[in-house]
Amino acid sequence: MPTAIKRAFPHFILFIYVGVILLPFVFIIFSSLKESNIEIAENPFGFPVELVFENYVEAWVKAKINVYFFNSLYLSFSSAIVGVILAAATAFAVTRMKFAGASKWIYQFVLVGMLIPGNVLFIAQYLLVNKLGILNTHWALFLPCTAGALPISVLLIAAFMKAIPSELEEAAIVDGLGSIGLFARIILPITMPALVTVFIINFLGVWNEYLLANFFISKDSLRTLPTGMVGFRDAFQTNYALICAGIIYSVIPVLILYAFLQEKIIDGITAGGVKG
């Protein structure tokens, strides 16, 4: 086989792979801009005869995608931010502050949560949420999602913090910084790639959460996008253009986050395993 073909073959395979991944997304975009189901059926992957942007307006207002969208958005952001703060503080305590050997046991105790599948805790979570009186409120999603993301969050951030040279910490202490100052002014800025990575993971976890949202929240005004989209699909099951428009709304925040933070995500995943 010629050298040129050998070099081009991996790129050809990658091109095919990307095409297969993007094909459903292209179908959704084109279908969301088509006028009727007939046009979608006759030309599923073709460009719309006429761009019908009214589908997005109708899906946003008539199907109450706006309500579900903002419910998911603020729940995902708030849970991700609180989760990052708690995980960063825990990781700092077990990696940079030594508690006479207790740090190791605290770290292992936190990581035990990774061994327990989330579905196993569902009944216990439901009983706890019901007993706390927060069933059918956004707290019923916020608390379990934030707590459930802590083990993997602590693991990623702690791996990054362990790579920070101890000389940097000693120099900061000599300059008069206490534990809080060291954490806020030195450690957090250095671990920003890991924090961004954890934020994205937590955000996507809450954004895509369906099981808890389906059983813990029944009020339509409090529903998140995944559960709202199910009802939207049932109500508009014959209008595939509106359904596709709703799907586009659900992926927009994810695309924006990855577009602006992809470098930080890659740094956060890889740099934690490199000893500084």
**Consecutive 10-residue averages of pLDDT for the chain (276 residues):** 74 88 91 89 87 90 88 95 94 78 75 80 91 93 93 90 84 83 88 90 93 91 88 69 89 85 67 49
Task: Kindly give, in sequence order, each residue whose CB lies less than 8 Å from that of residue 170, ignoring residues fewer than 6 positions away.
Answer: none
**What's the confidence (pLDDT) of residue 271?**
57
Task: Kindly give, in sequence order, each residue whose CB lies less than 8 Å from that of residue 257, ignoring residues fewer than 6 positions away.
Answer: 200, 203
Structure tokens at 155: 């693991």
Task: Kindly give, in sequence order, each residue whose CB lies less than 8 Å from that of residue 18, ignoring residues fewer than 6 positions away.
Answer: none
Structure tokens at 16: 């095919």
**What's the confidence (pLDDT) of residue 235?**
62
pTM > 0.75: yes or no: yes
What CATH code is assigned to 60-223+249-271?
Answer: 1.10.3720.10
**What's the confidence (pLDDT) of residue 210?**
92
**What's the confidence (pLDDT) of residue 275?**
45
**What's the confidence (pLDDT) of residue 236?**
58
**What's the confidence (pLDDT) of residue 100?**
56
Determine if residue 178 is left, alpha or beta; phi over 0 gives left, psi from -120 to 50 gives alpha, anything else beta: beta
Instruction: Compute CA distances 22 → 16, 27, 45, 70, 242, whole Å.
Output: 10, 9, 12, 27, 20
